[in-house]
Every structure is written in C-alpha cells, then in structure tokens.
Chain A
C-alpha cells in the first residue's frame, strides 16, 4: 500500500481546495438553481407566480371591496375610477372578484397537479421497478383513462356526482373538480415517470443497492425516485397552468366551480351570455387566467432546461 500513500497526497491536496469552494458542493438541484438564477424567463415567471400566490393567500391586501357585494343599479358598468375593471351583471366589482378568484383557481391548479404527480409517480415508479405483468396491467388501466376525452369525461363525472341545480358547498366542489382532473390526467404523469423509472431501474446504482441488500421500497423511493423526479416535476409545473385553464373550462360549461365560489372560470362562465354588452367582465378574468397559465408554463420550461443536462 506504500504506493498508494505515495501517490495520493497530491490528489488529496487538490481536492481539499475543491471542498472549500462552494462550487464543489453541487448536485443536480444546486446546478439547476445556479442556472435558473440567470434566466430572465425564470425570474419573470417566478415574480408573477409569487404575486399570484400572495394574491391567493391574502386577497385583502389588494382590495378592500367585498367580491360578492352587489350594487344592482351599477350592473355592467364599464371600467372607471371607482371600479377599475368595471362591474359585472350583478353590479359586483370585477377587480375584487378577479383578485379573490386567484385563490380557488390556484388551489384547483396546485391540488390537481400535486394529485396527478403523486398518483402518476407512484404508478410509474411501481411499473418501472416491477416491470412485466404489473407494468402491462397498469399501462392498460392508464390507457383507459387517457383515452377518455377530457371535457366529455369531466361532464360525465361531475354531472353524475351532483344533480343539476343542486347546491353544493365550495370545499366539496373544489375537491370534486380536483379529483376529476386527477382521474383524467394521471396517465400522462405516469408515462413520464415510468419511462424515467425504467431507465433508472437498469442503472448500476440500483443493482448495487440490491447487491447490498436494499428492499424494493427502499430502492424505489430512496434510489430511483430522486433520480426520476425532475421530468415529472417539470410536467407538473407546466400542467399546473393547464389545470387552471381546465378548471375554467369546466366552470364555463357550468359543471365546475359555481357561485358563491369565485374563480376566474366562474367569472368567465357568468358573463357568457353578455359578452357583447360587457366585454370587460370577460377580458379581465381571462387576462388573469392567461398570465397565470403562461407564468407556470414558462416556469416549467425554465425548470426543464435547467434540470435536463442535454439541453445545456
């Protein structure tokens, strides 16, 4: 071993320097963070998302007007000094409603993407690890759900859950809409996770973990999951925007969230018969919706660029 000892001090000295510098403490995530900080796309979308989150959590910071307060004689008023975005059919302040609408809209988006990512990841990870029959069966089940057109599936599920005209509490409605979206979208996340897990399960580190006696759960969650998470997270971020749009679609069709819940989709839905008379009541919630969706899609793009080393 004398050879070794003689050989390695130089190496050690070199590496000791590396330990001190912060650059050395890098992994996939810190590398990604370093890259993200320099991206205008990420900074802009990040700022927009933070503003939206603050808006969703503390709407009273932005407006002191009650979004459900009706002034019927000011119905359909165009934007003016006292109500910046004008008023809707019932004389409610569109600005206040757009601010308060951020909460339910984002809640649906966040919960739906969280649900999709969790369900899809668990399924994909299981398939990637066990392969064979498990993989085939879950793939077919996934295809059944992926094959249902989203709007049709949403109409069928939500109308069978609630009778037409039935008054449903806002929490229950939000849960129903989220579950519908998750049920119809998990196969996409599952496919992404499955592909990553299949590749990861063939890696030597999985073999090595098995050779050292790690059980299936430890291999799946400790060794494979962190290596497969990046693409699914990117997908989840992009889908978050899409799901906010999906909530608006369902609300517009009258089967999603309903009054008294305020969401952008609900606002768009309420104005559908009077678009010509009061375009501002459509324009502002739609603009919020578009900006939000765009921000999350941009964030997802930036994340993908940062997490996928091939793009560098």
Chain B
C-alpha cells in the first residue's frame, strides 16, 4: 500500500454546528490517514471532535445541525464528501463500518441479535433468512460468544455488556469492511471486559488486515493496540506519532497533561496531575494556541531556556502541526502543534517542565 493511495485519508476537515454568533467550530482542520492493517488511535477529551470526525468519515453526521465547511475525506483515493448519497450508503457496511460506545442502545431492542446481524446478509447479499441466520451464528462464534447457535435467538437485553459489544462488533464486520471505526468501544464496559474486547478487536484487525480507527480517551487502552496515535484538542490534531514515540517523547503539553492524569504502576509519584481548567467552548476558541489557557508552559516569558520567543506567542499565534526532528520517531515521523515542541521532545515524559 506504499505507492497507492492510503486506505483512508482525511484532509483539513472542518465542521461547524449552529448559526451566527452561536457557531461552534467543532473541527478546525483535522488531517489523518490510516493504512490497511493499521490501527490509528484518536485520543482526546470529550468534545474534542473525535466522534464528529468519525461520523463525518462515515457520512452519518446529522446535517443540520452539523455543517461540513471544508476539507476532504478520501477512501482509497475516492473523494467521499462530494460523492453520491447512494454510493456512500453502499460503502457503509461494505467498505467501512463503525461500532459504538453503548452497544445496548446501538442494538435494536425489538429484534434478536441474530436477526440484526442477519439483516445485512439478507438485504446486502440477498441471502435467505435461514442462511443469513446461520452466517450470523458463525459471526457470533468468530467474536467468541459461547453458545453462538443459541444466542443468535436472544434479544440484546439478554446479553451482558461485553457480549453486546461483541455482538456489535460481529454486526459491523458482517460484510468484511476494510476500515473499522471504533468509537469508544470499551468506555461503557468494566476493566476486565475492556481488555478482552480490545484484544478481540486487535485480533480481528490482524486476521482481516483491516484499517482501524480507535477513538478513545483512555490512554491505557491505546497503549496496547495502537500503531499510531493522534491527539485531538478543540477540533484539531495537536500531536501525531507512532505509539512508542508518543509515549516516550510526548511533544505537546496537552499530551503530557493527559499522561500525567493517568495513574501509572511504574511511577513513584503518588499524586495525579489533572489538567487544570476545562476544554474551551467551541463557540469561542481562544486565540493563538487553543490550549494556552490551560497550559502550564504557556507563560514562559523569558524564563524559557534560550528563549527568543515570549509567552505572548502562545496567546497570539496559532501553532501549526509540523514535523519535528525526533530521531526516535518512526517512518511516519512525529508531528506536533506547539511552538515549543522541540523542547518537550528532548525532555523525558516524566520530567516536569512547569516553570
């Protein structure tokens, strides 16, 4: 896939909600790419635009209230945003599928789990009801639901949380999509089940050589399965690198903040450092770097080592996502949107740079 177009390419995607003074800029130029067989984790707080990006890619964003104001989404080189509705509908399920956070509400309560999986075989593959149910049972078996033959006949509310998510995964994989978007697939589950679901997703991805976008705010979930990580803040990608590089040399203070706010077994520090403040209101994103009001490093003003820049730069100039010179980074490089990213890359992740 090196020469050909990537499986999915999102370029400078911009989405707004609302009108006039209440316009919320939810996505402000999001770009990322996913190759076949690769897992891209999209990290970020609630409201950072992770899910909206996913819904825009899938073409299931509610418009209105949403409005796509710019950018491009290309699936294997094919531009999707301007594409025919019917073409997009046929791509969904067939080429790209999505699983949701809350599997209970994402499964229709009035049908058996099997019937819902079978629906796709019946309507998209023209199978008979009976054959489709047999295939549904096979799929449930593939996602490691025990007793699949009996369980196809059960309703979603008779499944446990983890089982429901497995059923949801089975449903989304029914037509062998090449791209799977998992929107916080483990958030509604308890920790032990989370790990199982992540393993399952990872295993299925490897078996099918699917591209996967894993949307989450859980750093622990990401560490195990992601090839690359994109960190989002206020509708922008603020840092992107391969997983190992990002964990070893986080280049954006926000990424560092996220890491400091998660308990670690290998750390002697007893206390967690939450990121102060709240994510910015998307109707009123701060000028300059959107993270500066919460950033412990924004106010360098002369205290920064060999500082030729003042802290004002954070307040006035929007840092662009740029490639950093990080010798440890993989072939995809290490990109970050911080004026001082080079200083952070050089420092170890635990090092506290607070002035």
A193-233 vs B: 1/0 string, CB under 8 Å?
00000000001110111111111001000110011000000
How many angstroms between the C-alpha atoms of A204 and B171 in the bound complex? 14
Of the four ranges (under 10, 10 to 19, 20 to 34, 35 or more), the interface on chain B belongs to 35 or more
B108 touches A3 (CB 8 A): no
Known A24-B154, A207-B100, A212-B97; contact A4-B110, beta-carbon cutoff 8 A = no
Also in contact, A222 and B98, with CB within 8 A (given A27-B155, A208-B107, A212-B93): no
Taking a contact as CB atoms under 8 Å apart, the answer to whether B98 and A8 are in contact is no
Partner-contacting stretch, out of B22-30, B144-152, B210-218, B288-296: B144-152
Q: Are B109 and A227 in contact (CB-based, < 8 A)?
A: yes
A11 and B107 alpha carbons, distance in the complex (Å): 21
Q: Which of B90, B98, B108, B150 contacts A16 (CB 8 A)?
A: B150
Query: Which of B117-125, B128-136, B254-262, B335-343 forms contacts with chain A?
Result: B117-125
For A222, the chain B residues whose CB sits under 8 A away are 119
Indicate if the CB atoms of A212 and B171 lie closer than 8 Å.
yes
Interface pair B100/A1, CB less than 8 Å apart: no
Listed stretches B196-204, B301-309, B314-322; interface member: B196-204
Say yes or no: B146 contacts A227, CB within 8 Å: no
**Nearest CB in chain A: distance from B202 CB, A:** 9
Q: Which residues of B contact A1 (CB under 8 A)?
A: 144, 196, 199-200, 203
List of A residues within 8 angstroms of B90 by Cβ:
213
A204 & B105 in contact (Cβ 8 Å cutoff): yes
Report the tally of A-B residue pairs with Cβ distances under 8 A.
108
In contact, B195 and A3 (Cβ under 8 angstroms): yes
Q: Which of B97, B98, B107, B199 contacts A4 (CB 8 A)?
A: B199
Asked if B158 and A24 sit within 8 Å, CB to CB, the answer is: yes
B144 touches A213 (CB 8 A): no
Q: Which residues of A contact B191 (CB under 8 A)?
A: none
CA distance A130 to B93 in the complex (A): 22
Contact of A9 among B102, B111, B146, B151 (CB under 8 A): B146
CB-based contact B192/A27 at 8 Å: no
- List 7 additional contacts besides A1-B203, A4-B144; criterion CB under 8 Å: A5-B144, A9-B146, A204-B100, A207-B60, A210-B60, A218-B123, A226-B108
| Interchain residue pairs A-B with the least CB separation, the first 5 | A213-B93, A12-B146, A213-B92, A212-B93, A204-B106
* A-binding residues in B (CB < 8 A): 58, 60, 64, 89-94, 97-98, 100, 102, 105-111, 119-120, 123-124, 144, 146-147, 150-151, 153-155, 158, 160, 163, 168, 171-172, 174-175, 192, 195-196, 199-200, 203
Can you list 15 pairs linking A and B with CB atoms under 8 Å apart?
A: A1-B196, A3-B199, A7-B192, A8-B144, A19-B153, A25-B153, A27-B155, A204-B100, A204-B105, A211-B92, A212-B98, A212-B172, A213-B90, A214-B89, A226-B108
